[in-house]
Amino acid sequence: MSIKRTVPTLHDVAVKAGVSTATVSRCLNFPERVTVGTREKVAKAVETLGYSPNFGAKAMAARRTNTIGAIIPTMENAIFARGLQAFQEELRSHGYTLLVGSTSYRPEIEEEQIRTLVGRGADALLLIGHDRDPEIYKFLEAQGVPAIVTWAYDPAEFLPSVGFNNRTAMRDMAREVLRLGHCNIALISAKTEHNDRARGRLHGIQDAMIEARQNPEDLRVIETSFGIENGAKAFELIMSSQRRPTAVFCGNDVLAVGAMRSAKALGISVPNDVSIIGFDDIELAQVADPPLTTVHVPHREMGQRAALALVDMLRNGVPLTPIELITKPVFRGSLAQVKASLD
């Protein structure tokens, strides 16, 4: 344990350079407003002292942080990472820093994270989905922190969203699946409570069923937590039933890959015995064997446009407006026409 030395401050730099703190501050933030001579003196002092500005003090004095917060359900998966990466890159190019929080899909943790990031001075927030306690929106308004929602699109909701319509996205896929003759289908869904994306996807399938004159009640739904392992277990459960479905939808690619692993373990052939359909189109989908039929989501575009919208509003006061992005079913080996059966 080393003695905790005292960290150099603006004042120390000022003394060392023989100028005032105001000059040092200007030197650092607006070099052009300072003569070359002083600039050099200050630069040298900064260098030898190893000075680094105190963010908290800076934020407090300047009343802005150039920081934007993002709160996602989990970092443990590529699903959000891709979009977030693009989000960050775009922010970075505009001089903003990204602060990330994760919630493990738990509303109370999301609330805590929102408070944390706001307390840390985030100038704006990126949130996933619309489904949360309205109290939070009151809080954000009271704090004057604008927020944008992504991974969903619903202009009727309180916050503006940059994303896609989960319901129609899944419906479009389901239509194709039903068209292939599947009339006994199941869904391995993420928990739908507090999750409008999961609910939208579920309803999308049911919409397609109704269109196809099937009874939406017939959709067998298993809700489970996120993870390959959970997808595998859910699939096992579904296939242990009396009347096995011919197609299993999954709320996301990770669950789908779990289902495929489970199918392999059980000796169930995909897509001969059962078709498996995912959602998201992460890299994993192409690596799976057979490659996964899934709904392609424009992750990167979503992140980038969300960032642009936020920066535009912060810098130029341009109001946030909803932006709808499109998704597209991607057909790969895991989906096949339903086989003629004997009953």
Of 40, 48, 60, 264, the residue at the interface with DNA (CB under 7 A) is 60
Decide: is 48 part of the binding site for DNA (CB under 7 A). no
Decide: is 29 part of the binding site for DNA (CB under 7 A). yes
Give the relative orientation of helices 10-17 and 21-29 as an angle to the nearest 10 degrees: 100
CB-nearer residue toward DNA: 49 or 100: 49
Decide: is 97 part of the binding site for DNA (CB under 7 A). no
Ramachandran angles phi, psi of 128, nearest 5°: -105, 120
CB-nearer residue toward DNA: 23 or 192: 23
Residues β-bridged to residue 147 = 125
Rg from Cα positions in the chain: 26
Q: How far is the CB of 63 from DNA (least distance, A)?
A: 7
CB-nearer residue toward its own copies: 170 or 188: 188
Decide: is 330 part of the binding site for its own copies (CB under 8 A). no
DSSP for residue 117: H
Cα–Cα separations (whole angstroms), residue 197 to 16, 192, 204: 57, 8, 10
- 156, interface contact from DNA, its own copies, none, CB < 5-8 Å by kind: none
Contact yes or no for 90/97 (Cβ under 8 A): no
The CA distance from 149 to 128, in Å, is 5
Q: How far is the CB of 203 from DNA (least distance, A)?
A: 43
Decide: is 256 part of the binding site for its own copies (CB under 8 A). no
Q: CB atoms < 10 A from the CB of 203, how many?
A: 17
The pair of three-digit structure tokens given for residue 241, joined into one six-digit string: 């039933």
Closest alpha carbon to 338 in 173, 170, 179, 171: 179
Q: How far is the CB of 137 from DNA (least distance, A)?
A: 21
Ramachandran angles phi, psi of 31, nearest 5°: -50, -30
CA dihedral 239, 272, 166, 162 (to 10 degrees): 130
Of 16, 45, 58, 207, the residue at the interface with DNA (CB under 7 A) is 58
Of 40, 62, 106, 133, the residue at the interface with DNA (CB under 7 A) is 62
The CA distance from 153 to 165, in Å, is 5
The CA distance from 10 to 22, in Å, is 9
Total of residues contacting its own copies (CB under 8 A): 59
Decide: is 284 part of the binding site for its own copies (CB under 8 A). yes
Contact yes or no for 279/252 (Cβ under 8 A): yes
Of 12, 25, 53, 330, the residue at the interface with its own copies (CB under 8 A) is 53
Of 23, 77, 161, 246, the residue at the interface with DNA (CB under 7 A) is 23
Stretch that binds DNA, among 19-27, 97-105, 145-153, 274-282 (CB under 7 A): 19-27
Stretch that binds its own copies, among 14-22, 156-164, 237-245, 281-289 (CB under 8 A): 281-289
Q: How far is the CB of 93 from DNA (least distance, A)?
A: 21
The CA distance from 25 to 57, in Å, is 12
Q: CB atoms < 10 A from the CB of 82, how many?
A: 19
Stretch that binds DNA, among 60-68, 189-197, 212-220, 223-231 (CB under 7 A): 60-68
The CA distance from 337 to 293, in Å, is 13
Q: Which residues bind DNA (CB under 7 A)?
A: 6-7, 9-11, 18-23, 25-26, 28-29, 33-35, 37-38, 51, 53-54, 57-58, 60-63
Q: Which residues bind its own copies (CB under 8 A)?
A: 1-2, 4-8, 49-50, 52-60, 74-78, 81-82, 84-85, 88, 97, 99-100, 102, 115-116, 118-121, 138-139, 141-144, 228-229, 257, 260-261, 264, 283-284, 286-289, 313, 317, 319
